[in-house]
DNA sequence: GTGAAAGCGCTAACAA
DNA sequence: TTGTTAGCGCTTTCAC
């Protein structure tokens, strides 16, 4: 094995000191542009890689805050898994010098801006990283302030466009929509006539819009004899009522739900109605509350990108970019989390 | 945050030296039984956790060898993914002080014993860890020798019973079999009459025996009108011929393949025959060669536990047990790798 | 069988 | 802006 290049080798080669090398690579200030360039050139040339162990040993803790809705109410299906992933990631980081603070907000995604504002006032530039969600312009401008102050930001999906993020987890709505329709075709058969109900999240969100478009297109191709109707999965009051009304017509062959909460109330509704010949149901996500429906067959399949992995990966990427900002700059995109198809036989692996 | 307990604290509390504490925790020899117990008691009491960063900084490299069949011939479908996982795991370990040596054997799993023997003679007790497979008694006795010499052994599935292993990855044949049948029921419908062909691996192997039992039982329950026939997936000469002969009878409704190579030749056979009304095919695993069959619909689904994850995890667990033998002793079982159901829409994520 | 002491490569405090 | 230096907690060498 080739002898390891150390910060010291770089210092000697460039005729400077280890401190300068450190500053060139890592710190933002306290070094002249000229010296920095000279050092970084040598770093590049000699293919220097920081020794994380040594680095960790000496440096003081990084501080990261995770600000996400608590896993309660209708948000619980989605955010429980996400928080689990955050906790898991934190556990794995605990031997590294990081202090992760968890803030569970009370008002769901829609009022995130208030919580971001509060966090901004309660913290200062000593906050190195922030993991959160952002669904609207106001939240987005708070994130800008955090970043200007020197805090790196990692987002969990559902994003508005924002510059300079450390990372943003992406969901593959297109693949998920296609998979759901494909599965539905297996269940109903291609020739079936009647109605297909899509229970979708709010189309103000990019990912749900893509989902609906994909499903609509695919149904036309694959299930041409099914007429599609869309319900709002977030309308807990009227959604189930509407679904019940449609089911009363007697020709609903299939139900596809693209959001966790919609999947849940669709299951509940079908359970309650105890129909002789219920429609096939393909839902989204995997969470504890779905267990009985997987078991009794009301829910035949769901499509899933692990929330846990989303949370874990966001935290991990943020941490890595803090530890090694130099390498982080040239890191490639976020690796995609697999889209899974979940049935009674394998949902346990994803709980 | 509570102040961290260091090896030094333990030394002071027990009135000994840091060296002795180190030896008590880590090394096997050079310390009296009495002193070791006293120290370990204090370690326990104060909930000491080794600082991996500091540990890594000073110690010399661990040496691990991975001895597995090369990804060639019929073994390629299975072992390519496995090797990928090994490489990925190695990459992740590269900042830790480990030297991983790869040995790709030429004769597949069946003649592993010879390769183990050669490796045994070429190495000595400075080999800290070994990742391999073991399918027969002779290989098993070589592994015993390695372990007696101080090498920790991690196995990739397919195991014979062996004591004192560092770990052995397990496949969930039962869940996979059930999932395959469930999928087949979706594809054929419950009432279909005719024949179901199971292309299985050699039943001398535990996991394939379980698979066949599971499928048989489940087919009786779920697809009572299908009569099951089993073919040997490893018989590349006669397997496809046999399948073709059965297909000629005209009443084969479904084919389930439980092994990678069987899945592949089943696809090829169906492709070649260009039947007007081909049987449904549910296979196993995901690998590049299946791409065209996923795309053209010959292969409608496969059941899969990621080989890559298997390889990666085996290496990781072995390394962890080397770094921290004290904690490793009380570590719990190997976490299960999810069983996935793969269709045209999501196979890409698993390649 | 036991302990003292020298670093591993880096970061941060301090000095210039 | 730059350099010198003192450790971080551990493993290893060497002396007893």
Q: Which of A341, A343, A349 sits opposite B346 (nearest CB)?
A: A341
Nearest to A188 by CA among A222, A215, A221: A222
Residue B186 touches partner A, C-beta closer than 8 Å = yes
Residue B336 touches partner A, C-beta closer than 8 Å = yes
pLDDT at site A254: 95
Q: Taking CB atoms and an 8 Å limit, are B182 and A345 in contact across chains?
A: yes
**Statement: the CB of B341 is under 7 Å from strand C:** no
Q: Which of B53, B175, B189 sits opposite A346 (nearest CB)?
A: B175
- DSSP, collapsed to helix, strand or coil, labels residue A253 as strand
**Statement: the CB of B30 is under 7 Å from strand C:** yes
Nearest CA in chain B to A188: B186
Task: Check pLDDT > 60 for residue A151.
Answer: yes
**Statement: the CB of B54 is under 7 Å from strand D:** yes
Chain A positions touching B337 (Cβ under 8 A) are: 349
Residue B349 touches partner A, C-beta closer than 8 Å = yes
Nearest CA in chain A to B101: A1
Task: Check pLDDT > 60 for residue A22.
Answer: yes
Is residue B165 within 8 Å of B144, Cβ to Cβ? no
pLDDT at site B306: 93
Chain A positions touching B343 (Cβ under 8 A) are: 179, 182-183, 341
Longest dimension (CA), chain B: 83
Chain B positions touching A324 (Cβ under 8 A) are: none
Nearest CA in chain A to B337: A349
Residues 6+ apart with CB under 8 A from A15: none
Orientation of helix B238-248 relative to helix B260-273, angle to 10°: 50
CA/C1' separation A19–C15 (Å): 13
Nearest CA in chain B to A302: B341
Nearest to B322 by CA among B95, B102, B103, B55: B55
Q: Which of B336, B338, B343 sits opposite A179 (nearest CB)?
A: B343
Is residue A84 within 8 Å of A149, Cβ to Cβ? no
Q: Taking CB atoms and an 8 Å limit, are A53 and B95 in contact across chains?
A: yes
pLDDT at site A205: 85
Is residue B19 within 8 Å of B7, Cβ to Cβ? no
Residue B327 touches partner A, C-beta closer than 8 Å = no
pLDDT tens digits for range A311-337: 999 999 999 888 877 666 566 567 789
- The separation between CA A301 and the C-alpha centre of its own chain, rounded to angstroms, equals 21
Task: Identify the DSSP state of A75.
Answer: G
pLDDT tens digits for range A23-46: 998 876 788 889 999 999 999 999
- Please name the residue ranges forming H helices in A225-306: 238-248, 260-273, 291-296
pLDDT at site A132: 95
Burial of A44 (C-beta count, 10 Å sphere; 0-12/13-18/19+): exposed
Between the CA atoms of B198, B203, B209 and B215, what dihedral angle is there, to the nearest 10 degrees? 10
pLDDT at site B332: 58
Q: Which of A95, A99, A178 sits opposite B52 (nearest CB)?
A: A95
pLDDT tens digits for range A104-133: 999 888 889 999 999 999 998 889 999 999
pLDDT band at A1 (very low <50, low <70, confident <90, very high): low
pLDDT at site B226: 93
pLDDT at site A96: 86
The CA radius of gyration of chain A, in Å to the nearest whole number, is 25
DSSP per-residue codes, B278-289 = PPEEEEE---GG
**Statement: the CB of B55 is under 7 Å from strand D:** yes
**Statement: the CB of A93 is under 7 Å from strand D:** no
Residue carrying structure tokens 């770089």: A10
pLDDT at site A10: 93
Q: Taking CB atoms and an 8 Å limit, are A57 and B52 in contact across chains?
A: no
Q: Residue A282's beta-bridge partner residues?
A: A256, A301
Chain B positions touching A346 (Cβ under 8 A) are: 175, 179, 338-341
Average pLDDT over residues A137-165: 86
> Please, which positions of strand D sit below 7 A from a protein CB?
1-13
pLDDT string in tens for chain B (351-residue length)? 567 899 999 999 999 999 999 999 887 778 889 999 999 999 999 999 888 899 999 888 899 999 999 999 999 999 999 999 999 999 988 888 889 999 999 988 888 999 999 999 999 888 999 999 988 889 999 999 999 988 999 998 766 778 788 888 888 999 999 999 999 999 998 878 899 999 999 988 888 999 999 999 999 999 999 999 999 999 999 999 999 999 999 899 999 999 999 999 999 999 999 999 999 999 999 999 999 999 999 999 999 999 999 999 999 999 988 887 766 666 656 778 999 999 999 999 998
pLDDT at site A158: 64
Residue nearest to nucleotide D6 (CA to C1'): A58
pLDDT at site B336: 83
- DSSP, collapsed to helix, strand or coil, labels residue A66 as strand
pLDDT at site B97: 86
The values of phi and psi at residue A12, to 5°, are -65, -45
What is the sign of the dihedral through the CA atoms of A343, A203, A338 and A185?
Answer: positive
Say which nucleotide is closest to residue A9, CA to C1' distance.
C9
The helix or strand, by DSSP H or E, that contains position B67, with its residue range, turns out to be strand B62-69
pLDDT tens digits for range A52-98: 889 999 888 899 999 999 999 999 999 999 999 999 999 988 888 89
Is residue B40 within 8 Å of B22, Cβ to Cβ? no
pLDDT at site A167: 86
Chain A positions touching B341 (Cβ under 8 A) are: 340-343, 346
Chain B positions touching A175 (Cβ under 8 A) are: 345-346
pLDDT at site B159: 63
pTM reported for the whole predicted model: 0.89
Is residue B34 within 8 Å of B46, Cβ to Cβ? no
Task: Check pLDDT > 70 for residue A219.
Answer: yes
Task: Check pLDDT > 70 for residue A18.
Answer: yes
């Amino acid at each position: 094995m080739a002898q390891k290049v150390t910060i010291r080798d770089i210092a000697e080669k460039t005729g400077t000191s280890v401190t300068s090398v450190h500053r060139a690579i890592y710190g933002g200030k306290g070094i002249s542009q000229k010296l920095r360039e000279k050092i970084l050139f040598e770093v590049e040339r000699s293919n220097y890689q920081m020794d994380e162990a040594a680095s960790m040993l000496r440096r003081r803790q990084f501080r990261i805050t995770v600000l996400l809705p608590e896993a309660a109410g209708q948000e619980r299906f989605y955010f429980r898994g996400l928080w689990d992933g955050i906790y898991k990631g934190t556990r794995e980081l605990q031997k590294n010098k990081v202090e992760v603070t968890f803030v569970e907000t009370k008002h769901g995604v829609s009022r995130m801006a208030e919580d971001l504002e509060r966090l901004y006032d309660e913290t200062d530039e000593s906050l190195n990283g922030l993991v959160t969600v952002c669904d609207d312009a106001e939240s987005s401008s708070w994130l800008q302030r955090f970043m200007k102050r020197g805090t790196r930001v990692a987002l969990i999906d559902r994003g508005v466009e924002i510059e300079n993020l450390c990372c943003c987890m992406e969901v593959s709505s297109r693949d998920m929509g296609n998979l759901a329709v494909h599965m539905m075709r297996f269940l109903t058969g291609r020739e079936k006539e009647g109605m297909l109900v899509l229970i979708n999240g709010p189309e103000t969100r990019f990912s749900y819009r893509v989902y609906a478009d994909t499903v609509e297109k695919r149904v036309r191709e694959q299930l041409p004899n099914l007429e599609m109707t869309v319900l709002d999965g977030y309308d807990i009051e009227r959604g189930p009522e509407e679904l019940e009304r449609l089911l009363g017509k007697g020709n609903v062959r299939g139900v596809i739900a693209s959001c966790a909460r919609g999947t849940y109330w669709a299951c509940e509704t079908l359970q309650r109605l105890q129909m002789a010949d219920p429609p096939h149901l393909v839902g989204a996500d995997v969470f504890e509350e779905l267990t009985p429906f997987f078991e009794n067959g009301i829910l035949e399949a769901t499509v899933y990108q692990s929330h846990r992995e989303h949370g874990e990966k966001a935290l991990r990427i943020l941490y890595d970019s803090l530890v090694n900002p130099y390498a982080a700059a040239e890191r490639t995109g976020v690796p995609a989390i697999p889209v899974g198809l979940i049935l009674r036989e394998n949902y346990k692996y994803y709980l």
